Amino acid sequence: MKGWNGKILRVDLSKGTTKVVPYSEETAKKFIGGRGLAVKLLWDELPSGADPLGPENIIVFATGPYTALQVPNSGKMVVASKSPLTGGYGDGNLGTRAATNMRKCGVDAVAVTGKAEKPVYIYVEDDETEIRDAGHLWGKDSYETEDWIMEKHGKAAGVLIIGQSGENLCRLATVVAQKGRAGGRPGMGAVMGSKNLKALVFKGSKELAVADPEKLKDLGRKGFEKIPKFDAFPSWKREGTMMAADMMQTAGALPTRNFSEGVFEHIENVNGDAVHAATVTQRGCPNCNMICGNTILDSEGRESELDYENVTMLGSNIGLGDLAQIGTLNRICDELGLDTIGAGNAIGFAMECAEKGLHPIAVNWGDFEGAKKLLYEMAMMEGDGALFGLGTRAAAEKIGGEAPDFAIHAKGLEVSAYDCHVCPGMALSFGTSPIGAHHKDAWVISWEISSGIREEYGPEKADKVIEFQRIRGGMFECLVGCRFPWIELGYPLEDYPGYFEAATGVEMSLDDMWTMGDRVYALVRAFWVREYGDKWGRHMDYPPERWFKHPLTEGALAGKHLDKEKYDKLLGFYYEKRGWDDRGIPTKATLKKLSLAKEAGQLAKYVGLK
């Protein structure tokens, strides 16, 4: 194979063994890499009903044939596993030198199973893999751990690390790298912790064999040259993802006080202008010439890298309007390895529980010290953190009463920073996202709020969600490239099949990419259905109850909320267009059309297929 290394590094931490095994060309062509390769592996090898925090769970770190090539934005990887937060398929995407180094070690993915007797880290240098002692790193935060690894293995090494939250099996634990990049929102850090796996370190020096090196070089050079020429480039460099803050405030969709409102009274303290004024430096992923990680000094004078999601979930969503303090909460999350979106949700939820007298926790809206304390407690799974660190769905079920009505999640994953009281299309995107409520697959909100049909529930909304899911959740998650050049600057999608062909020699049109994306979506869906069994149903694709039940009370949209009957009809359009039945399960015919006939037979053992 060209483009792909065609090999996976398998590590069994219970047995202490490592081996490199090939995977088939057929798998490579059908699933490409990243999310596709990960779900194929989890579907084939993970026993149904496996405990996500048990040794049998598999955690996959997967790159794609695009990763580490000298082409724009190719320094990312997917981390995937059965999620301890949702009980279904979970993944995340982070930019890290671990991605580029892993590929240069001659493998496309690493799959780790088992549990080490004592804390360890996995060290990979080209063909050599060692499982090394990490006893001295256990209990240390991700920054301290990275400093030690850099000192020991050199600054060129790529790392994937967990902080204390992963060690203590907090379900909101993520994987961190390069002091500010984080991925794996559905508790991927806790899966590493359950295996006593503190870190992975990669140092690779091998050449990547590609089908047409000259063509790839030429395409890559032209691609890098195109990026700074886009009209949107200067504003992107100025604000990055923070551009969304004013946009969402104007649209009444900025999550405020646990998604109860869509406008925030201190917006000018926490918008793109405010972050730009406070920025001291910018950081980014490898192979990128549009880096976007705006870094400010927090209230303790330490660097903190901010994105829109972090600022909003740890700011307006908890009623906090002080940017430097938000920076501190964000920095603590990075150190502890806590997902900022999950953590901001959990804190907002805890504040509302306190306000309503449903749980005896002393934390009020905008309470910086209280929020800080809860972050540490969640990471240690102590005190109130032992409850809220389970995630909002589980915490709400334990608290009971009306708490589940204001637990802001879909399928158990906390919603990212877009309030959808008046955005049915974006609500559908959250509801049907393959990992639970994440905006990564179908960020249709910017289209929806300017579409002129914002409050409608017509089939064109389902079309838009599917179109975006194919591009973002399909092509970008499987090639494993950053989607920002396309969505933020307008970089042409047509370039990606060109890069793919020059690397692999395989011709694939954009339509073929969409079919591949549909295949991956169908298999991810099959995974969820296999895990949930008779608990699976249409309700699994619903957004949070709050958006139906509790109207907004402030701003121009006061009084508005989602309509459940209409949402259900919209969901029906979505299922029909995807070729899924009225329970949201791919039909036999759809699975066959997507070359998943074998998988259809396997799924039929768990649920009747239509």
User: By the criterion CB under 6 A, which residues form the site for ligand SF4?
Assistant: 73, 95, 284-285, 288, 290-293, 482, 484
In angstroms, the CA 259 to CA 392 distance is 13
CB of 161 to ligand PTT, least distance (A): 11
- Single out the residue of 402, 361, 409 nearest to residue 550, CA to CA: 402
464 binds ligand PTT (CB under 6 A): no
Distances (CA, A) of 572 to 202, 350, 577: 45, 34, 9
Q: Which does 305 bind (CB under 5 to 8 A by kind): ligand SF4, ligand PTT, none?
A: ligand PTT
Distances (CA, A) of 385 to 314, 392, 397, 416, 441: 16, 11, 15, 21, 30
In angstroms, the CA 330 to CA 319 distance is 15
Q: Which residue is nearest to ligand SF4 (CB)?
A: 284
Q: Which of residues 213-242 bind ligand PTT (CB under 6 A)?
A: 241
Phi, psi dihedrals of residue 407, rounded to the nearest 5°: -90, 115
Q: Which does 288 bind (CB under 5 to 8 A by kind): ligand SF4, ligand PTT, none?
A: ligand SF4
CB of 244 to ligand PTT, least distance (A): 7
In angstroms, the CA 588 to CA 571 distance is 20
CB of 483 to ligand PTT, least distance (A): 4
202 binds ligand PTT (CB under 6 A): no
95 binds ligand PTT (CB under 6 A): yes
Query: Please, which residues bridge with residue 265 across strands?
Result: none
CB of 472 to ligand SF4, least distance (A): 13
Binding region for ligand PTT (CB under 6 A) out of 6-14, 246-254, 354-362, 477-485: 477-485
483 binds ligand PTT (CB under 6 A): yes
Q: Which does 184 bind (CB under 5 to 8 A by kind): ligand SF4, ligand PTT, none?
A: ligand PTT
Query: Please, which residues bridge with residue 586 across strands?
Result: 580
384 binds ligand PTT (CB under 6 A): no
- Single out the residue of 74, 73, 77 nearest to residue 102, CA to CA: 77
In angstroms, the CA 583 to CA 586 distance is 9
Beta carbons within 8 Å of 103's beta carbon, 6+ residues apart: 5, 63, 67, 68, 204, 208
Of 287 and 317, nearer to ligand SF4 (C-beta) is: 287
Of 437 and 502, nearer to ligand PTT (C-beta) is: 437
334 binds ligand PTT (CB under 6 A): yes
Q: Which does 319 bind (CB under 5 to 8 A by kind): ligand PTT, ligand SF4, none?
A: none
Q: Which does 359 bind (CB under 5 to 8 A by kind): ligand SF4, ligand PTT, none?
A: none
Q: Which does 30 bind (CB under 5 to 8 A by kind): ligand SF4, ligand PTT, none?
A: none
| Residue 236 in tokens | 């992107």
Which of 37, 80, 94, 192 is the binder for ligand PTT (CB under 6 A)?
Answer: 94
413 binds ligand PTT (CB under 6 A): no
From residue 156 to residue 175, the character string flagging contacts with ligand PTT as x (rule: CB under 6 A) and all else as - is ------------------x-
CB of 24 to ligand SF4, least distance (A): 30
Which of 121, 143, 308, 486 is the binder for ligand PTT (CB under 6 A)?
Answer: 308
Which of 146, 239, 261, 307 is the binder for ligand PTT (CB under 6 A)?
Answer: 307
Query: Please, which residues bridge with residue 122 across strands?
Result: 131, 200
In angstroms, the CA 360 to CA 280 distance is 40
* Distant-in-sequence contacts of 378-385, Cβ < 8 A, 24+ apart: 378/165, 378/170, 378/172, 378/338, 378/343, 378/346, 379/163, 379/164, 379/165, 379/168, 379/170, 379/173, 379/336, 379/337, 379/338, 380/164, 380/168, 381/168, 381/169, 381/170, 384/350, 384/359, 385/170
Looking up tokens 């999310």 gives: 35
CB of 483 to ligand SF4, least distance (A): 8
CB of 259 to ligand PTT, least distance (A): 16
